[in-house]
Structure 1
Amino acid sequence: MTYTGRGSGRLAARAVTVAFALALLFGANLPAEKIGPWDTDLLFQPPTVEWGEEKDGVRELFYQGEPFQGRPTRVYAVYAQPPGTGPFPAMVCVHGGGGTAFPEWVRLWAERGYAAISMDLAGCGPQRQRLPDGGPDQSDDSKFRSFDENSVTEMWTYHAVAAVIRAHSLLRSLPQIDADRIGVTGISWGGYLTCIVAGVDSRFRLAIPVYGCGFLHENSVWLPRFEKMSPEQRERWVRFFDPSQYLGRVRCPIFFLNGTNDFAYPLDSYRKSYDLVPGEKYIRIEVRMKHSHPDGWAPREIGLFADALLKGGQPLPRLSSLHREDRTVWAEVTSVVPVKQAHLNYTVDGGRWQDRQWTSIPARLEQNRVVAELPSEQLSAYYLDVVDERGAMISTPPEIVR
């Protein structure tokens, strides 16, 4: 594997000069502004970076983080790229709770033909050891602790979003990376962060949040945390750190993936988050999709979506929103690759989304439509999906009755 312009030796230092000419050269000359608590004028500049040695096709690095408790910080990350000199498309990979900088994740993207970076967002370094100059940890106590307007930059979400954006800025500064072909994907809390980042960093070409979404204060596994907050604390947390405040700013194509029974991010909050995006968007809802890092980076649709936008590949199928007349429901289908299957997925249960039972039955493919008959008037939620000849599945947004 060739790394252009990097020093040798363990954690050899390579300072990246931050200059206006460099920003122009690598496409970072977008209008900068302060969005929420994040100053994009600073975050869009390449951070200083120290490169380590390569092992099994993956290279360690540390890059500049945000000040924390009055001291500078570093972010630990891993990087991989395909053979050759590029220019490569690239992905920024954002882990979830209990995660770290995953070598296997960036290796997976390198095998797909992408450069990729995955950073630790818990203030840890190699082997998940706490860094003396790391940022905040990723415990729920850190995420939901009390703060005021003066301490917003001490919060975990502030640091995590900044670390993701700085990783993007770093990739854009590398000569082997095509700065116009970079996407971001995240799993669970990383999906939550991806929803925010996609609204703050307008340079991304695509975004793929898995599981994570907004409206955590309305319905999520963290409702007990919000119930313990004062009304002022709750309003402040939502205003600064809930993705619902940023999804309306997303301008790149975005692909939401989740399961019907996700333990953390329920389907009603997921649908509301999807609805906020004004532009091109896709959704994939899998009945009882498992929740884990490997299950979150495994769906083939993720790579196909990235390939279509960053490598000129064949796009995923497109489904319109649901239409209904009496008990007949349908959606328009657009697909370059022939569609081979279609399904109606529904539940009649109420109560917690995590506990509802779902049923899938075949739907009909009629020219450019997928059509199904609702089996009951008592459905509480339903949606259609189609599967093309590659095995790629796309859904309609779920219709939520109760």
Structure 2
Amino acid sequence: MIAKHPRGTGRLVGMVVGAVACACLLVPAATALALDDQAGRDHLRVTPEMLTPPAARPADGFHAEGVEAIFYDGLPWKGKPTRVFAWVGMPSRAAGEKVPGIVLVHGGGGTAFDAWVRLWTGRGYAAIAMDTCGTVPRGTYANWERHEAGGPPGNRFEDSEAPAADQWPYHAVADVVLAHSLLRSRPEVDPGRIGITGISWGGYLTCIASGIDDRFRFAVPVYGCGFLGEDSVWKDEIAKLGPRGRRWLDLWDPSHYLPGGRMPKLWVTGTNDFAYPMDSLRKSCRSAGGRSTLCIRPRMPHGHGGAGENPEEIRAFADAVVRGGKPLVEITGQSRRGDKVRVEYRGDAAVVKAELLSTKDDGRWTDRRWEAAGAAVDPAAHAATATLPPGATTYFLNLHDDRGLLVSSEHVEVRGTSESAPVSGLP
């Protein structure tokens, strides 16, 4: 647990987020999402209209094994109605049984992926994966076919002077919340046991959607986080826009929404993620409402498929929240005295291995070289300890349980002779 104080590679091709709104007035309720003036900034909020399941119909001409292709009604874009493509799947279940559910949000260059839905139906979940860029899954990665009733086709920071309700983040978040409402309406689904996960820009959207839609029971952003103006692959691009860039950050940076999401969160990422660096991730964890758990792998690849979809920690985390499964280990504190570092933990799963990850580098997070070394586990004390190598500038510890699942401590930048990071949000 963590203290409370996307141009993609592989299959994630960069979508440049562009969405700064210049309207300060409340967006009409008919558009279902509204903007609130809070502390001098405008923020999205869900209105009652968003809680109503949207009208849906079959998407003719799209077929995939074990899933259903649909269009559902989105919000008006530039005064015209929109439709959103989605795949929906249901798991095998006993007669009358209600199953948990999950909303799946794709990343940059992606679309609705039927294989991702089947991954989760195979785990016993109802699942919905929607397209957030006005396209359908026909074509090639980052070049999907647009349909005639699609919403904004992606993200351009330079469009920041357009009205809020015509910007991509506005519509993409609405698409996610509407998909949630639609999944909740299915008679096979238990509406009190639905979570959300998203990859890269989908993780960004997960941060916002979970902050404004308190019906979600858990949230798992993969790579994506907030504080994009402070450190991200888009930092310089945003800065060059001057007031327009600052306006975009005021409206659309997830840091404004994360405190509102009180559900538990699992943050999955790698040490060298090119888009969402570890410092912005740590700030996001600390600002988020509810409890946060970290899962940081050395040099984790950035993408859909096995890298971003398949980490077993995501399934275990979801199962613990909505299916009574065994939770991930919880880190309850961490400290350093000189070159000696320590983390405390608790949980039903046994910690069988601990590992110290450290770097002697400074500068860009994506360029840092990380080294792994063994750490000692004391099961009686529920603690793991390690010795920092000379010259280490930053470190964290990974704990591996008897299921092969890992959790991570916050990274610590070595300054002075000692630090401590008590973990809040614990009973």
Q: Smaller-chain TM-score range?
A: 0.7 to 0.9
- SS state at 1:202 partner: coil
2:363 match? 351
Q: In the alignment, is residue 37 of structure 1 matched against residue 50 of structure 2? A: no
Q: Quick one: distance in 2 between partners of 1:252 and 1:342?
A: 28
- SS state at 2:179 partner: helix
- SS state at 1:170 partner: helix
The answer to whether the 8 Å contact 1:315/1:336 transfers is yes
Residue identity in the other structure for 1:225: E
In the superposition, relative to structure 1, how do residues 302 and 359 fare at CA in structure 2: closer, same or farther (>3 Å)? same
Aligned 1:179-328 pairs, distance under 5 A: 179-230=191-242, 232-294=243-305, 295-328=307-340
Equivalent in 381, 388, 400 of residue 374 of structure 1 = 388
Residue identity in the other structure for 1:155: Q
Segment drifting more, 302-311 vs 126-135: 126-135
- SS state at 2:236 partner: helix
1:47 match? 54
CA deviation string 1:264-311 (max 9, x = no partner): 111111111111024211001111000011110110000000011111
Q: Quick one: distance in 2 between partners of 1:169 and 1:321?
A: 37
Q: Quick one: distance in 2 between partners of 1:157 and 1:221?
A: 18
Equivalent in 51, 68, 81 of residue 77 of structure 2 = 68
| Cα-Cα RMSD | 1.6
Residue identity in the other structure for 2:77: F
- Structure 1 residue 55: deviation in Å? 3.6
The answer to whether the 8 Å contact 1:320/1:396 transfers is no
The answer to whether the 8 Å contact 1:37/1:152 transfers is no
2:424 match? none
Residue identity in the other structure for 1:78: W
- Structure 1 residue 172: deviation in Å? 1.0
- SS state at 2:229 partner: coil
Residue identity in the other structure for 1:284: C
Equivalent in 118, 122, 131 of residue 107 of structure 1 = 118
Q: Quick one: distance in 2 between partners of 1:177 and 1:401?
A: 48
Residue identity in the other structure for 1:398: H
- SS state at 1:108 partner: helix
Q: Quick one: distance in 2 between partners of 1:313 and 1:357?
A: 36
- Structure 1 residue 321: deviation in Å? 3.7
- Structure 1 residue 52: deviation in Å? 4.4
- TM-score of the aligned structures, taking structure 2 as reference length: 0.83
1:147 match? 160
Residue identity in the other structure for 1:40: T
Q: In the alignment, is residue 395 of structure 1 matched against residue 413 of structure 2? A: no
Residue identity in the other structure for 1:261: N
Q: In the alignment, is residue 383 of structure 1 matched against residue 390 of structure 2? A: no
- TM-score of the aligned structures, taking structure 1 as reference length: 0.88
- SS state at 1:145 partner: helix
The answer to whether the 8 Å contact 1:38/1:158 transfers is no
- Structure 1 residue 401: deviation in Å? 4.3
In the superposition, relative to structure 1, how do residues 373 and 99 fare at CA in structure 2: closer, same or farther (>3 Å)? same
Aligned 1:62-101 pairs, distance under 5 A: 62-84=71-93, 85=95, 86-101=97-112
Q: Quick one: distance in 1 between partners of 2:34 and 2:109?
A: 32
Moved beyond 4 Å, runs of 4+: 32-35
- Structure 1 residue 207: deviation in Å? 0.1
CA deviation string 1:334-374 (max 9, x = no partner): 12121111011010101111110000101111121011111
Residue identity in the other structure for 1:181: R
Residue identity in the other structure for 1:219: D
CA deviation string 1:45-80 (max 9, x = no partner): 111111347641011011111111110000000011
The answer to whether the 8 Å contact 1:38/1:162 transfers is no
Q: Quick one: distance in 2 between partners of 1:381 and 1:266?
A: 14
1:135 match? 151
Segment drifting more, 83-92 vs 44-53: 44-53
- Structure 1 residue 227: deviation in Å? 2.5
Residue identity in the other structure for 1:144: F
**Highest RCO, 1 vs 2 (Cα 8 Å, sep ≥ 6):** 2
- Structure 1 residue 33: deviation in Å? 7.7
In the superposition, relative to structure 1, how do residues 34 and 70 fare at CA in structure 2: closer, same or farther (>3 Å)? closer
Q: Quick one: distance in 2 between partners of 1:48 and 1:110?
A: 23
Equivalent in 65, 68, 89 of residue 59 of structure 1 = 68
In the superposition, relative to structure 1, how do residues 365 and 223 fare at CA in structure 2: closer, same or farther (>3 Å)? same
Q: Quick one: distance in 2 between partners of 1:203 and 1:184?
A: 10
Structure 1: runs of 5+ lacking an equivalent: 1-31
The answer to whether the 8 Å contact 1:322/1:399 transfers is no
The answer to whether the 8 Å contact 1:268/1:400 transfers is no
The answer to whether the 8 Å contact 1:192/1:209 transfers is yes
The answer to whether the 8 Å contact 2:64/2:114 transfers is no
Residue identity in the other structure for 1:396: S
CA deviation string 1:206-239 (max 9, x = no partner): 0000000111111111123213212x21221111
Q: In the alignment, is residue 333 of structure 1 matched against residue 361 of structure 2? A: no
The answer to whether the 8 Å contact 2:260/2:288 transfers is yes
- SS state at 1:132 partner: coil
- SS state at 1:214 partner: coil
